[in-house]
Amino acid sequence: MMNIPLLLPTEWVHELLMGWMPETAVSIVEMVLIAVVYLAFFAVAGLYLVLLERKVAAWIQLRLGPNRVGFWGIFQTIADALKLVSKELTGTVKADKFLYNLAPYFPIVAALIALSVFPFSKSLQAYDVNIGIFFLTAVSSIGVIGILIGGYGSNNKYALIGAMRSGVQVISYELSVGLSLLTMVLLTGSLQLSEIIETQRTGGWLIVQGHIPALIAFMIYMIAGTAETNRAPFDLVEAESELGAGYHTEYSGMKFAYFFLAEFINMFIIASIATTVFFGGWLSPFGITDGIFWLQPIWFILKVFIIILLMMFFRWTYPRLRIDQVLTLEWKYLLPLNLMNIVLMAIIVWLKFTISW
């Protein structure tokens, strides 16, 4: 007789469904359940990252922050979301209706697709694609299409300027993000996220295994990743003092909320990639997660949380750069440094292979 309590939660649900319905129906139900779980995680994570942002800003600025709705203000962003749902969806008469209404869905869909490939634990991963890093860099570029369409479709000069800035910025910093991750792929020899984590089980985190090139790659990745998410000090796309709200100036209600939530989920995605590639993913630094499945996602989320705090520290510490400074930083400094760093990593990998051989 099967001892169901000893099974993992995912295996338990699968065995339960197999006892009720045929295999084809089980596959369909499981896909629907996975989609619902990811949508719920998307909504909850987005709302509470907004709350965390406001609390961190208050802490840095020596004030209280949200503290009215719920204990310590923990339901403030839920109240804000309900307010946005109830608001009228306004728009301009001269806007391109089709493009204007289509744009908010691009960042949301891109973020959801990217979330599906992260291994939150050894057994908690929607899809373990064998080209994980390549897949993530490709999907993360889709969101900017929504920003460009929204800025253009709004028929507003400030929205269009913000959208153009976003396109230039994302295309530029995508190079540094890709090259910094490629530096680590050289070290692991795999694009698959689960395999990248497995290589860190015995040899330690890649940021330690890779020596100085790995540390440089992480620093470049964090700078470029912050720019990719359009966050301060790289928030030229929605510079309030210049462009109002930038590309989403003409959006209201839930359409505005889609853009807003996608920005915070993208921050979670950038932090998750850094956790997986540089800091061992769900692996504990003390080696205690292998046999305890419920500790694995806790370690993963904890590492992501620390990196998100670092990104928030950037936002509330450094002043906004000008657009020419943003592009100069990428093309004159980060990109050449990245190219030299990837060559240095290749030399280190070659030396390791030669010595071991």
Mean of the per-residue pLDDT values for the chain? 87
Q: How confident is the model at residue 18 (pLDDT cuts 50, 70, 90)?
A: confident
Which residue's entry shows tokens 């950037």? Answer: 314
Could you report the per-residue pLDDT of 145-158, keeping only the tens digit for each?
Answer: 998 999 899 888 88
User: Residue 171 corresponds to which tokens in the numbers above?
Assistant: 């295309």
Amino acid found at 95: A
Q: 263, 229 in Cβ contact below 8 A?
A: yes
Dist CA 100 CA 182 (whole Å) = 36
In the block, which residue shows the tokens 């400074």?
A: 325
Eight-class DSSP state of 334 = I
Tens of pLDDT along 27-64?
Answer: 888 888 888 999 999 989 999 999 999 999 999 999 99
**Domain assignments of the chain as residue spans, ordered by start:** 87-356
The pLDDT, as a whole number, for residue 321 is 87
Q: What is the pLDDT of residues 258-278, one digit of tens each?
A: 888 898 999 999 999 999 999
Q: Kindly tell me the sign of the dihedral angle through the C-alpha atoms of 101, 247, 179, 205.
A: negative
For residue 142, what are the contacts with CB-CB under 8 A and spacing of at least 6? 106, 109, 110, 113
| The pTM of the whole model exceeds 0.85 | yes
For 143-197, the pLDDT digits (tens) are 889 989 998 998 888 888 888 888 888 889 999 999 999 999 999 989 999 999 9
Confidence check: pLDDT of 127 > 70: yes
Other Cβ atoms within 10 Å of 317 Cβ, number:
10
- Check if the beta carbon of residue 307 is closer than 8 Å to that of residue 221: no
Rounded Cα gap, residues 17 and 4, in angstroms: 13
d(CA 78, CA 56): 18
